[in-house]
Structure 1
């Protein structure tokens, strides 16, 4: 895939500014915000950016290679698209745009249970190469059906979410009526009128819906009834008893997302997970928690090479990916960066963000004389 990005938006700040101008405020705040007072949201990136790398300028260095093997597949870069809920609310067709770009660039795209594209559609777009993130349903029959659909669509990796035992307290979403049940206020309607391109494209594409969940949703529900149904359908807290049948059922690779402690890492290994994603849900669940990179430090120290260790939360740029890998992660995932880009640039957004990140990461690798991704820890200043 040709590495080409929009030169008018060469940084994450450019994309954020443009996204803010293109989409209604309630959609931008859903994307941009954390929980409570945004303490952990801010810490995620700030503490990651405290990580420093050591360059070796006089070393013999011919080239840098970003290719990374993960679960038997060689990806063209050591980062992927993290799962994000309600993507079509922020920009129509957003999950399809990102899945297509990820497939063309040969990086993983993770589909969320609660986003706005179906398992089958994303499976077709990615030719069965996407990953699927499972919000644990309350009913075993729904769980089994969703997992079977992911298997039938060829998904190689199932990601079990564990860090949403309860919905985060998000003041912006509450004010904007995006908590469950959702509502449309006069203020939101005025915001939509001020973003005509978003409004027209949303109208043409159709109201965003939880496409994967449509087979299990009674027809004709009002928005309030849908919210109550969603609250009833999902049981966010997972444990050994809930995980065991998933491991027995799923024949592909199994990943636990939302890990933030050594104890949960040890349990993940014991329960047969192939990998973990160290994460605090992008600072959207526990404001009093550690940043993701701080949570990852003891996990890497004690469990490196015992299980694949990946990380999301706070990673925004190519240098952030480098910092994450230098800190010991095998792979990095980002959600907001890709969504800012799609909100800013529409159909171009997926290709732009991936190309920009690849270019940034390549520059860091060449600057510090890092030949391959697995060498990044050798450049960490401790």
Structure 2
């Protein structure tokens, strides 16, 4: 796929600022914010940028190759698109836009259970090459039906979400009426009125809803009752038995997202999982916890030969991807960067963000003299 980069937005920070101006405040703060005082939100990225790489300038390399093999598939870059709930709230049809961009550029896209496109639609867009993240349902019948639909859609990787045993305390979302149950406030209406392009595009696309869950949600629910239904229907607390049951039922690759300790990494190995995503939910769940990259390094040191290790949370740019891989990750995922891109540039946002990240990562690898992504591990200072 040919690169597409809008020269007016040559960095993620430019996309973020454009997105901030282009969408209502409640939508931007839902995307941009963390929990409590947002300490870990900032720490995630700051700690990645404390990791230093050692350049080599007198050694020749032929050509930088970003291709990375993961679960039997060779992707064109060592990064993918993280699952984000309510993507269509930030920009209409964002889920579909990003799924199409991921497919075109041959990187993985993970659809959330509470995404705004259905698993069947994303499977159609990606020809079955997307991943699916499961919020664990309280009832086994619903869980099994979701698993059967994901399998029927042909998606190869199931991602279990483990780090939402309770909803993070997010004061901006409470103020904006986006807590559970959600509500429409007068301030929200004013924000919508002052962002007519977003409002028009939302009107054309239709109100964002949890499309994968539509068949399970009783018709005619108002926002309050929808919130109560979601609280009752999903139980975020995983345990060994629940994961083991899914491992027995799911025949594809199985990944646990939200690993932040060596103890949980060992449990994943014991359960026969194929991979883990070291993550703290982008700083949206536990404010006074370790950054994701701090948790990653001992996990990678002790488990890299036992299970595929990926990471998200705090990764914003190509250099961030390089430092994360240098710290032991086999693969990386980004969420906010892609949503800034779509919120800023609409249907071109996914293509632009992927092309930008690839260009930035290639430049870093040229500087540190790496032909292949895995060589970055040898370029970390104080390795």
TM-score, normalization by structure 2 = 0.99
Alignment partner, residue 226 of structure 1: 226
Aligned to 1:243, what secondary structure does the other structure show?
Answer: helix
- Of 33-42 and 301-310, the range deviating more from structure 2: 301-310
Partners of 2:374 and 2:61 in 1: how far apart?
16
Matched, 1:257 2:254: no
Partners of 1:301 and 1:353 in 2: how far apart?
31
Alignment partner, residue 381 of structure 1: 381
Partners of 1:258 and 1:330 in 2: how far apart?
16
Alignment partner, residue 11 of structure 1: 11
Aligned to 1:52, what secondary structure does the other structure show?
Answer: coil
Partners of 1:16 and 1:371 in 2: how far apart?
31
Partners of 2:204 and 2:62 in 1: how far apart?
50
Structure 1 residue runs of 5 or longer lacking an equivalent are none
Partners of 1:244 and 1:310 in 2: how far apart?
21
Alignment partner, residue 196 of structure 1: 196
Alignment partner, residue 134 of structure 1: 134
The count of residues paired between Structure 1 and Structure 2 equals: 382
Spell out structure 1 runs of 4+ moving beyond 3 A: none
- 1:114 is displaced (CA, Å) by 0.5
Partners of 1:11 and 1:337 in 2: how far apart?
10
Alignment partner, residue 86 of structure 2: 86
Alignment partner, residue 359 of structure 2: 359
Alignment partner, residue 2 of structure 1: 2
- 1:4 is displaced (CA, Å) by 2.0
Q: Deviations over 1:156-185 (max 9, x none)?
A: 000000000000000000000000111111
Alignment partner, residue 372 of structure 1: 372
Alignment partner, residue 247 of structure 1: 247
Partners of 2:124 and 2:272 in 1: how far apart?
29
Q: How big is the alpha-carbon RMSD for the aligned residues of Structure 1 and Structure 2?
A: 0.5
- 1:20 is displaced (CA, Å) by 0.5
Structure 2 residue runs of 5 or longer lacking an equivalent are none
Partners of 2:335 and 2:305 in 1: how far apart?
26
Superposition map of 1:105-144 within 5 A: 105-144=105-144
Alignment partner, residue 42 of structure 1: 42
Alignment partner, residue 291 of structure 2: 291
Alignment partner, residue 172 of structure 1: 172
- 1:62 is displaced (CA, Å) by 1.4
Alignment partner, residue 337 of structure 1: 337
Alignment partner, residue 147 of structure 2: 147
- 1:245 is displaced (CA, Å) by 1.3
